[in-house]
Amino acid sequence: MDTHQPRPATPQPPQGGGGGGGGFSAILTVFLSFIAIIAMIVIPSSSTFRNGFSILHQVPEGHVGVYWRGGALLNTITDPGFHLKLPFITHYEPVQVTLQTDQVRDIPCGTKGGVMINFEKIEVVNRLHKDYVHDTLLNYGVQYDNTWIYDKIHHEINQFCSSHSLQQVYIDVFDQIDEKMKDALQGDCTRYAPGIEIISVLIAIEKQRVVEKEAETNKKMAISEAEKVANVSKILMEQKLMEKDSVRKQQEIENQIYMAREKSLADADFYRLLKEAEANKLKLTPQFLELKFIEAIADNTKIFFGEKIPNMFLDQRLLGNFLQQLSRNVSEEEKSTA
């Protein structure tokens, strides 16, 4: 037997048996990527990211389509529906031209008295006219409402609060704020952005109602406190009046006592003087007068001598006769009057 006889070759498995499966996966990956790109470019979408890649796009009802190419705003304005554009080159945005409501929240402001208050929500109903879409976006961009509604509301509310007190802002002129805000917004929009129409301004009244209730409660408390103080003052006043009246009555009694005493004293003096006068009248007799004359001569310490002395006595006798005659006349007059 030949030991070098060649052996029969052992069959080997075919090389690259998996090559067919790898090619299919690659084809499937390419196909799916192609489908995704076609879907992104052809199928319309409202997504801002996909808008740059899509050829077909949709403008919703109530909006118009505006376009930018290379960052420059185009004059093209499209109506609602499907439209075509160049992908990657032309960018599109829908702009609402029907009524819309912008809500401005949490607006702080300071009143004239220095009190800080906060408006929780202010709603501004507005509309951008279709004919002014291009000019408005050219001057203020797609977010034009930030400039002419949100920022403007903050400014006007602060201007209003700074010139009014807390009482005026929340109670006295609260119902006028919406009209004042509407007029202020519309005035500036008409001047600088004529395409924006301000329909109405609505201010949430929940906070105002709370403040109004608080003010009403404080008012009632103040009235109650004032009435209490007034009642106390009235009682004190009545007490003082009663004290004054008591003092007055006491003074009147003292005055009456004093007047009665003085009158009694005056009457007594008058009666004494009257009696003295009557007594003196009774004393005016010739004998009494002559007695008084003699007593006066007797009391004289000087004695004069001479031929004129009898005449002096004679004169005194004549005086006594005269006084006696006068006393008689007085007595006769009293009898005649009686």
Tens digit of pLDDT at every position of the chain (338 positions): 344 444 444 445 444 444 455 677 878 777 676 665 555 555 555 445 455 567 888 999 999 999 999 889 999 999 999 998 888 888 989 999 999 999 999 999 998 988 888 888 999 999 999 999 999 999 999 999 999 999 999 999 999 999 998 888 888 888 899 999 999 999 999 999 999 999 999 987 655 556 666 667 777 788 888 888 888 888 988 888 888 888 988 888 998 898 888 888 888 888 888 888 777 777 767 777 777 777 776 666 555 555 555 544 445 555 566 666 666 766 676 666 65
Both tokens of 95, joined, read 């702009």
Contacts of range 141-146, beta carbons closer than 8 Å, 24 or more positions apart = 142/66, 142/93, 142/95, 144/193, 144/196, 145/102
CB 118 within 8 A of CB 107: yes
DSSP helix/strand/coil, 18: coil
Q: State whether residue 299 is helix, strand or coil.
A: coil
CA distance 325 to 328: 5
Contact 119, 157 (CB under 8 A): yes
pLDDT at 191: 94
- Alpha-carbon gap, residue 303 to 268, rounded angstroms: 46
Residue 325 has what pLDDT? 67
Q: How far is CA 337 from CA 3, 12, 88, 330, in A?
A: 216, 195, 152, 11
Residue tagged 């291009």 (tokens): 134
pTM of the complete model = 0.50
